[in-house]
């Protein structure tokens, strides 16, 4: 066992020195990645899962330590909440490039970027002065570029309402690996609930009309109460503001297996796109609590029909952590319209918007309705000779069936475009 290192800290009493443990984590400093062989741009290579020079082919492995769900969690201390609320100050947008000496200005919250002068990749891990608000763990990309192409080709080829040339679209080559900031939340919660619960009661009564006993059912509302004692572990809330990224798509590519969390290494972000959170911790936790509330309501109701439900909910042992999760994102234009596609960088699960060939869609909808119309028309014509009514009736039925099918086709087409 290695002995813990200590360093002297301020003492409030003369004649007494105080030493506190030194964090095992090295001090966070911005890191510049340049090739030791040719001075070219070094970046993380998804194919080899190491860093590689795109000019001379130099490669080096990146050692990672898998920590999984044992990764450190933090409490909602007032200091952390205030720091998390403060956002990224203007000063933090300035970075020095160690390679060419340039003073660079990055977008707010940029964690990884390239120097525009010497092209060296930089990873800025000093965004926050508070350690817990710096990236400490992430799930590395498990999907290799080849695998991604196969997944995307398959996904684009699915469905028959989409334009035929979509599968050959340039969008296939536009997927960019992103490390997205996520908050994970864990908490114990206790809830006391009270509600009127519906009970269906069968009773026998005397029916004067039929002069016999008959049975009937009625709903009886009874006050009931109960308590819930449960917990949530590793509830994921994306740290990117929903106005900037489609949360519906992000939800659809979940889940992530957090057992794959590894300790943060700047090399893992070299040349990648990574942005610090812009949805503050408090707001993210509010969203997380929304899911816990839904869970509490679901457990309280638990299949029952209730009314006047009231719940008192208290939280305990609330913890959070700040992580990066891998996503491939593509934003492409088709027929002057913008579409977004996301791929889970760990599991390969895809979600996205796909353009619809509306000519094809309307033709299909028309084809659905046509048998009904035609049959009705025949019915009308043959009604002149007195045999048309059954045909007309069949036509109406076919039209209704056709309309239902057409409605679902329209909804599905619209969903693909506007997820």
Partner 1 sequence: MGEQVTEFANSDFPKLEVRDQLSWFPDAEVVACQECGRVFLVLPDMDDTLCPMCGKAPLKPQQSLVLSRPPELLLTPRLNNANLSQAFAGFISGVPYRTPDLTAENLTNRSRLVFWPMWLVDGDVKGEWQAMMGFDYQVKTARERLGSGGWSSTPELRTQTRFEPRRGSIERHYDNLAVPALLEHATIIEKLGSYNHQEAVNFTPDAINGAVVLMPNLDPQQLTGAAQVKLIAQAGAEAMRAAGAQSRQEFSLRGEYKNLNWTEYLLPIFSSHYADDDGREHTVYVQAQGGKVYGPRMASRRKAKTLSLILFGLGLLSLIAAMILMIVNNENVNFECSVAVLLMTFALMLIIGIAQLLRVKRWNSNQTSQFPPL
Phi-psi region of 331 (alpha: psi -120 to 50; beta: other; left: phi over 0): beta
Task: Please pick, from the candidates 65, 308, 335, 418, the single residue that binds partner 1 as defined by CB under 8 A.
Answer: 308
CA distances from 394 to 233, 379, 380, 391, 407 (A): 56, 8, 12, 5, 20
Tokens of 205: 């009564």
Comparing CB distances to partner 1, the nearer of 126 and 299 is: 299
CB 180 within 8 A of CB 345: no
Q: Which stretch binds partner 1 (CB under 8 A): 42-50, 117-125, 291-299, 405-413?
A: 291-299
Rounded to whole angstroms, how far apart are CA atoms 298 and 289?
A: 14
Dist. CA 252–CA 350, nearest whole Å = 8
DSSP string, 319-368: EEEEEEEEEEEEEEEETTEEEEEEEETTT--EEE-----HHHHHHHHHHH
Pick the piece of the chain touching partner 1 (CB under 8 A) from 2-10, 219-227, 358-366, 381-389.
Answer: 2-10
* 87-116: contacts with partner 1 (CB under 8 A): none
CB of 319 to partner 1, least distance (A): 10
Least Å distance, CB 59 to partner 1, is 42
Does position 293 interact with partner 1 (CB under 8 A)? The reply is: yes
Residue 76 in the binding site for partner 1 (CB under 8 A): yes
Distance in Å, CB of 310 to partner 1, minimum: 5
Q: Which is nearer to partner 1, 22 or 367 (CB)?
A: 22
Nearer to partner 1, 96 or 293 (CB): 293
314 interacts with partner 1 by CB under 8 A? yes
The neighbouring-strand residues paired with 53 are: 42
Q: Which of 55, 58, 221, 315 binds partner 1 (CB under 8 A)?
A: 315
Nearer to partner 1, 2 or 204 (CB): 2
Rounded-to-integer distance, Cα 45 and Cα 49, Å: 6
Q: Comparing C-alpha atoms, which of 237, 252, 238, 269 is closest to residue 138?
A: 269
297 touches partner 1 by CB under 8 A: yes
Which of 79/336 has CB closer to partner 1?
79
- Residues 356, 413: contact at Cβ < 8 Å? yes
Please tell me whether residue 79 binds partner 1 under the rule CB under 8 A: yes
- The secondary structure of residue 41, as a DSSP letter, is B
316 binds partner 1, rule: CB under 8 A: yes
Out of 1, 12, 200, 384, name the contact with partner 1 by CB under 8 A: 12
Which one of residues 5, 6, 85, 147 is an interface residue with partner 1 (CB under 8 A)? Answer: 6
Q: How far is the CB of 382 from partner 1 (least distance, A)?
A: 59
Considering the complex, what minimum distance in angstroms separates the CB of residue 261 from partner 1? 24
309 binding partner 1? (CB under 8 A): yes
Segment near partner 1 (CB under 8 A), from 76-84, 103-111, 253-261, 358-366? 76-84
Give the pair of three-digit tokens for residue 108: 């707010």
Q: What minimum distance in Å lies between the beta carbon of 6 and partner 1?
A: 6
Q: Find the binding residues for partner 1 in span 14-33 (CB under 8 A).
A: 15-21
CA distance 252 to 155: 14
Write out the DSSP string of 143-207: S-HHHHHHHHHHHHH--SSS-GGGGGSGGGG--EEEEEEEEEEEEEEEEEEEEEEEEEEEEEEEE
Which CB, 4 or 204, lies closer to partner 1? Answer: 4
Buried b (16+ CB within 10 A) or exposed e, 229-250: eeebebbbbbbbeeeebbeebb
What angle is formed at CA 109 by the lines to CA 106 and CA 110, rounded to 5 degrees? 50
Q: Shortest distance, CB of residue 74 to partner 1, whole angstroms?
A: 10
Alpha carbon 79 to chain centroid distance?
28
Of 1-9, 140-148, 200-208, 404-412, which part binds partner 1 (CB under 8 A)? 1-9
For binding to partner 1 (CB under 8 A), which residues are involved?
A: 4, 6, 8-13, 15-21, 75-79, 81, 289, 293, 296-297, 308-316, 318
């Amino acid at each position: 066992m290695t002995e813990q290192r200590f360093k002297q800290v301020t003492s409030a009493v003369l004649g007494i020195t105080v030493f506190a443990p030194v964090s095992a984590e090295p001090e966070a400093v911005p890191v510049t990645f340049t090739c030791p062989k040719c001075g070219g741009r070094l970046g993380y290579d998804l194919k080899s899962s190491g860093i590689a020079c795109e000019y001379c082919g130099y490669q080096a492995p990146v050692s990672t330590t898998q920590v999984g769900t044992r990764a450190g969690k933090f409490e909602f201390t007032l200091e952390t909440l205030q720091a998390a609320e403060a956002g990224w100050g203007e000063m933090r947008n300035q970075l020095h490039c160690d390679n060419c000496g340039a003073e660079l200005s990055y977008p707010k919250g940029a964690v990884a970027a390239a120097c525009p002068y010497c092209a060296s990749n930089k990873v800025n891990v000093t965004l926050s002065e508070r350690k817990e608000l710096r990236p400490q763990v992430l799930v590395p990309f498990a999907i290799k570029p080849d695998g991604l192409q196969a997944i995307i080709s398959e996904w684009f080829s699915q469905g028959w309402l989409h334009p035929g040339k979509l599968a050959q679209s340039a969008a296939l080559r536009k997927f960019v690996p992103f490390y997205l900031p996520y908050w994970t939340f864990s908490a114990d919660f206790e809830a006391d609930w009270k509600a009127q619960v519906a009970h269906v009661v069968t009773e026998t009564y005397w029916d004067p009309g039929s002069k016999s006993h008959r049975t009937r059912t009625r709903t009886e509302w009874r006050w009931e109460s109960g308590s819930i004692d449960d917990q949530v572990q590793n509830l994921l809330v994306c740290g990117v503001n929903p106005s900037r990224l489609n949360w519906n798509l992000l939800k659809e590519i979940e889940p992530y297996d957090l057992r794959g969390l590894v300790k943060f290494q700047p090399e893992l972000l070299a040349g990648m796109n990574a942005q610090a959170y812009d949805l503050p911790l408090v707001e993210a936790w509010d969203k997380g609590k929304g899911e816990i509330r839904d869970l509490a309501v679901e457990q309280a109701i638990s299949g029952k029909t209730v009314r006047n439900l009231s719940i008192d909910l208290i939280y305990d042992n609330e913890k959070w952590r700040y992580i990066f999760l891998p996503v491939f994102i593509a934003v492409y234009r088709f027929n002057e319209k913008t579409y977004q596609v996301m791929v889970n960088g760990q599991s390969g699960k895809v979600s996205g918007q796909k353009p619809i060939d509306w000519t094809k869609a309307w033709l299909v909808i028309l084809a659905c309705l046509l048998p009904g119309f035609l049959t009705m028309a025949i019915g009308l014509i043959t009604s002149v000779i007195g045999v048309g009514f059954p045909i007309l009736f069949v036509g109406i039925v076919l039209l209704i069936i056709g309309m239902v099918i057409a409605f679902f086709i329209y909804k599905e087409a619209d969903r693909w475009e506007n997820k």
